[in-house]
């Protein structure tokens, strides 16, 4: 018999645990991580560790604040840090969303923007763009005029479609609705080398989200950043959870942020491999891969994607079944791995679906 225990609010009881399932003996191409190991010891020496003191609560994170404000071309007080961008974005939604407030999303897009809206107690309004994913300006403006959202979220390149959204689409919404908080999730934007950071001074309602989980190869560190107008950042600091990032994370993040050459190399590598994988996928009969600007490729296979996902696992390759995501019925998503992992994926793909000659 189930014991009588406290229950979450009704709208939260439909949620299932988020995150790619970790399969021990399969190669992991299911979470858009960086595939090569990043040992913490390559960044933090014993002497560095000795400078990190644990008895005090974290301070203002001056070092990482300084480095990133320079890289982003903003003032240090425009940055808000968190335990990964999931943490920063959730806190943003707690502060600016919530009861009686609406979030507008252009679907299919990053699942957690919708989840955080509901967790905060707000209302989610989905504008269904579909696949191929192209957010047109007229469409975005019409949806914003209809919904008058408190938050409008854009993800560019978009997860899971891999596509960019034109800057002027996002900025048109921001300009027309100065009281709407416009979130731009740039988790993958280093890969195409595009960013809306230069638009921040002219658009005080735009908030840009960054993460060290992708081409900074540090998903395990959990470090995310929001960049915004100083007045918005001040409101975040007044309300959000304090001391949400530890001193060890700040110390490591500062080292990783300085390693800009590594990021450049990773970006070059992932672009090359993504094109190779995409070309390989296009030769496979019965699937439709969507061109991507990120480190993953979405493809439509139709039919039973859970069964296809299972067959990939039998070949030792874990990819992501995207069917449960809004607007992604019949789709799977593969992350770009090492060269060898990508070869394994292409081999499994040919075995799972019927290959046709080029």
Ligand X SMILES: Cc1ncc(COP(=O)(O)O)c(C=O)c1O
Q: Verify binding: residue 155, ligand X, rule CB under 6 A.
A: yes
Applying CB under 6 A, the span of 90-98, 129-137, 211-219, 242-250 interacting with ligand X comes to 211-219
CB of 30 to ligand X, least distance (A): 10
For 300, 318, 355, the CA distances from 284, given in Å and listed in that order, are 12, 19, 5
Q: Verify binding: residue 219, ligand X, rule CB under 6 A.
A: yes
In this complex, which beta carbon is closest to ligand X, that of residue 150 or of residue 185? 185
Position closest to ligand X via CB: 84
In this complex, which beta carbon is closest to ligand X, that of residue 335 or of residue 352? 335
CB of 85 to ligand X, least distance (A): 3
Cα-to-chain-centroid distance, residue 286: 28
* Calpha distance 156→294 (Å, rounded): 9
Beta bridge partners of 227: 79, 208
Binding track over 99-118 against ligand X, x by CB under 6 A: -----------x--------
Among residues 30, 74, 84, 118, which is the contact residue for ligand X, using CB under 6 A? 84
Applying CB under 6 A, the span of 79-87, 130-138, 299-307, 331-339 interacting with ligand X comes to 79-87
Residue from 337, 347, 189 nearest 269 by CA: 337
In this complex, which beta carbon is closest to ligand X, that of residue 111 or of residue 284? 111
Q: Are 324 and 126 in contact (CB under 8 A)?
A: no
Q: Verify binding: residue 224, ligand X, rule CB under 6 A.
A: yes
Applying CB under 6 A, the span of 38-46, 80-88, 191-199, 256-264 interacting with ligand X comes to 80-88
* Calpha distance 27→23 (Å, rounded): 8
CB of 82 to ligand X, least distance (A): 8
Q: Verify binding: residue 293, ligand X, rule CB under 6 A.
A: no
Q: Verify binding: residue 38, ligand X, rule CB under 6 A.
A: no
Q: Verify binding: residue 85, ligand X, rule CB under 6 A.
A: yes
Under 8 Å CB-to-CB from 115, ≥6 apart: which residues?
15, 18
Q: Are 207 and 184 in contact (CB under 8 A)?
A: yes
Cα angle 156, 159, 160; round to 5? 140
Count of alpha carbons within 13 angstroms of residue 3, beta-carbon side? 2
Under 8 Å CB-to-CB from 133, ≥6 apart: which residues?
108, 158, 161, 163, 290
Applying CB under 6 A, the span of 84-92, 99-107, 199-207, 284-292 interacting with ligand X comes to 84-92
Q: Verify binding: residue 32, ligand X, rule CB under 6 A.
A: yes
- What one-character-per-residue DSSP string does 128-157 give? E--SS----HHHHHHHHHHH--SEEEEESS
* Calpha distance 104→117 (Å, rounded): 10
Among residues 30, 78, 189, 213, which is the contact residue for ligand X, using CB under 6 A? 213
Site residues for ligand X per CB under 6 A: 32, 84-86, 110, 155, 159, 185, 187, 211, 213, 219, 224
């Amino acid at each position: 018999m189930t014991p009588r225990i406290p229950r979450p609010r009704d709208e939260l009881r439909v949620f299932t645990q988020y995150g790619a399932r970790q399969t021990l003996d399969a190669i992991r191409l299911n979470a858009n991580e960086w595939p090569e190991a990043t040992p913490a010891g390559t960044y933090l020496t014993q002497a560095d560790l000795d400078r990190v003191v644990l008895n005090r609560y974290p301070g203002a994170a001056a070092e990482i604040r300084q480095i990133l404000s320079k890289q982003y071309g903003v003032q240090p007080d425009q940055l808000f840090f968190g335990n990964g961008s999931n943490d920063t974005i959730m806190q943003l939604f707690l502060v600016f969303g919530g009861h009686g407030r609406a979030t507008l999303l252009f679907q299919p897009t990053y699942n957690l923007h919708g989840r955080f809206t509901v967790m905060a107690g707000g209302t989610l309004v989905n504008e269904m763009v579909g696949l191929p994913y192209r957010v047109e300006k007229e469409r975005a403006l019409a949806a914003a005029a209809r919904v008058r959202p408190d938050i409008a979220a854009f993800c560019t390149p978009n997860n899971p479609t891999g596509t960019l959204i034109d800057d002027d689409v996002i900025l048109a919404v921001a300009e027309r609705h100065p009281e709407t908080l416009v979130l731009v999730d740039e988790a993958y934007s280093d890969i195409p080398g595009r960013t809306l950071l230069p638009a921040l001074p002219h658009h005080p309602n735009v908030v840009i989200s960054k993460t060290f989980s992708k081409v900074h190869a540090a998903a395990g560190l959990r470090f995310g950043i929001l960049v915004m107008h100083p007045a918005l950042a001040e409101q975040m600091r007044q309300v959000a959870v304090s001391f949400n990032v530890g001193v060890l994370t700040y110390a490591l993040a500062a080292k990783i942020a300085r390693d800009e050459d590594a990021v450049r190399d990773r970006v070059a590598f992932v672009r090359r491999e993504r094109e190779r994988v995409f070309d390989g996928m296009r030769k496979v009969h019965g699937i439709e891969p969507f061109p991507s600007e990120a480190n993953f490729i979405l493809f439509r296979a139709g039919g039973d994607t859970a069964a296809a996902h299972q067959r990939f696992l039998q070949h030792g390759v874990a990819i992501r079944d995207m069917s449960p995501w809004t607007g992604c019925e019949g789709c799977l998503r593969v992350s770009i791995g090492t060269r060898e992992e990508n070869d394994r994926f292409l081999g499994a793909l040919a075995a799972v679906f019927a290959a046709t000659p080029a």
